[in-house]
Amino acid sequence: MSDLPEPIPAATLVLMRDVADGPPELLVTERTGHMAFAAGALVFPGGRIDADDQRTADLLGSDAAKVAAIRETIEETGLAPGLTPAPDAAIVAALRLGLADEEPFASLLAAHGLTLDPEALIPFARWCPNFRETRRFDTFFFLAEAPADAPEPEISAHEAVRAFWASASAILAEIESGRAHAIFPTRRNLERLAGFATIAEARADAALHPMTKVTPWIEERGGEKLLCIPEGIGYPVTSEPLETARRR
């Protein structure tokens, strides 16, 4: 019997925006160095699925993972995808303040005449590593498109030191140069996202590869230990030397 702790249900949002002269840009944050999980790493907005997310999902006929992805994005970046009608800056600020005060998300939405848009978030991936880490998560990844007039992100200072838009290739280049770092699932998803010239291509790929729970494993090949994921589920890179996978 495994002595690993039960994974914590979590959700992440890959928020994308099309640009006129290049591939889509993604919203990422750089976590503070004191976080218990992925300290200092580049990540997509997200976090654990809590009891209020489930209550909100039950009330609004949605999915708790989608609720968590939207809520966490509001809390961490001040952007509010997946809501209808699209809230203005003042309403988003009020939602963020209410969430900081631990007000029920469903009540905040109702107070501002908002509801969830179930079609706005596209299932993209699910990762559940089985290695003993400080915390172990079973994370659902969703794609969403940022509105054309979305403001610049505003970080939550206790969780991040910066938030920015960049293409997947540019983010990977920052990681490869050593100017930033990211955990194994983030890098694999960035490599996958780097292959899309438009948001429409990303949606099409998500439809082509139904969400499959990815649990990496260690395999020895040619005397070298590799951290591996399955072939055929949409990822262009499916293995990496364990030494670099655990270091970057």
User: DSSP states of 58-97 as a string?
Assistant: HHHT--HHHHHHHHHHHHHHS--TTEESPP-HHHHHHHHH
Q: Which residues of the chain have pLDDT under 70?
A: 1-3, 32-39, 132-134, 148, 157, 246-248
Quote the tokens at residue 127: 């990762």
pLDDT given for residue 1 in this prediction: 39
- The span from the CA of 93 to the CA of 166, in Å, is 24
Q: Which pLDDT score is estimated for 34?
A: 54
In the numeric block, which tokens belong to residue 220?
Answer: 């020895």
β pairing state of 213-214 and 122-127: parallel
Look at residue 37 in the predicted model and tell me its pLDDT: 56
* pLDDT value at residue 132: 61
Does the bond joining 85 to the residue before it have cis omega, within 30 degrees of 0? yes
Say what the pLDDT of residue 36 is. 46
pLDDT of residue 246: 64
Signed CA dihedral, 185, 21, 72, 84: sign only: negative
pLDDT at residue 113 in the model: 97
Domains of the chain are: 8-211 (3.90.79.10)
- The predicted pLDDT at position 158 comes to 72
